[in-house]
Amino acid sequence: MTAPARARARDGAAPLRRYRVGAVTITPLVQFHYRVHPLRFFPDLETFDGDGWYWRPPYCEDGFLVIDMGGFLVRTPDRTVLVDVGVGNGKSRPNPLFTGRDDEWFAALQRAGATPDEVDTVVFTHLHVDHVGFATRFDGSAWVPAFRNARHLTTAAELAHWTGAAAAGDVARLGDYVGDSVLPLRDAGLLDLVEPDLRIYEEIRLLPAAGHTPGNVCVEVNSDGRRAVFAGDMVHHALQLAFPERSTDFCVDHARASAARQELLRDIADRDVLLFPAHFPDSAPGRVVTDPAGGYRYEIVEGEPL
């Protein structure tokens, strides 16, 4: 039996960090720090070198993978966008570390300079439980949209999968998060099913990346000759940089996820491109560089404290 996962709340006093991509600013908003046994994500990890760089802090702690949870605030000169929105608060989940949370994520959003009503777009890289949670809040009688002025974007293939029979087992295991975090958006007329290569705004577009889930996308920012890519769970942990062919046990289609990840990494490696993985330590971005020993490494970028 593997050791249980662990979680700890984000220190509300810890400084937020902002990153500039041309005229666009990006602020990671960590909800909480999550630690999970490696075999939960990579059941055949015994085939890997236990001394690899990806086993060391900050990517691992005490033998646990660092898998931090949250989302990202993206501000263009004209728009206020969220890319993924964490686990959420006050929701009933089978995972005891996800259920009934009470984290100061909305306070972090406001510290970053935005209110829920200012958000005009929420982009879901995919519809897993830890990417949609703060999209709704409980108003005393029902779950209602938390960002009432925002369009919420996902793909038709993604919604069809998570509301269909093929995902029934996963939903039962993870909790009815689609029912409390996604369908209320559709019922309110705020959920848009979009093409996986949609250009959302001048500086922001989607990149098709099916595999982790059937309608999974990445989000690309281009501004003033600078570029960033939000990878969602395409790169769940640093180990997948060292071994880019490896998918996690949470991928719906391991082969397609592997192919999509390798294509992304070939495109951005050794270039001035910021990668924002959804779950890296403190959601810190970095640059991907080729490792002469094989695979890639990660150069964390510190950003500017707010």
According to the model, what pLDDT value does residue 158 have? 98
**What whole-number percentage of the chain has pLDDT above 70?**
97
According to the model, what pLDDT value does residue 12 have? 81
- Residue 240: both structure tokens together: 């997948």
Average pLDDT over residues 23-29: 98
According to the model, what pLDDT value does residue 4 have? 52
CA–CA dist 109, 57 (Å, integer)? 27
Domain 6-301 classified CATH 3.20.20.140?
no
Identity at 66, one-letter amino acid code: V
Beta-ladder partners of 257: none
Q: What is the pLDDT of residues 82-140, one digit of tens each?
A: 999 999 999 999 999 999 999 999 999 999 999 999 999 999 999 999 999 999 999 99
Q: Would you list the DSSP string of 47-116?
A: GS-TTSGGGSTTTEETTEEE--EEEEEEE-SS-EEEEEE-S-SS---SSTTTTT----HHHHHHHTT--G
- Residue 37: both structure tokens together: 């046994």
Q: What is the pTM (predicted TM-score) of this model?
A: 0.96
CA–CA dist 191, 70 (Å, integer)? 20
Q: What is the pLDDT of residues 33-79, one digit of tens each?
A: 999 999 999 988 876 667 889 999 999 998 899 999 999 999 999 99
Per domain, the residue ranges of the chain are 6-301
Q: How many CB atoms lie within 10 A of CB 43?
A: 11
Q: What is the pLDDT of residues 223-262, one digit of tens each?
A: 999 999 999 999 999 999 999 999 999 999 999 999 999 9
According to the model, what pLDDT value does residue 1 have? 35
User: How many residues in total does the chain contain?
Assistant: 306
**CB-neighbour burial class of residue 13 (10 A; exposed 0-12, middle 13-18, buried 19+):** exposed
CA–CA dist 139, 106 (Å, integer)? 15
Beta-ladder partners of 122: 82, 152
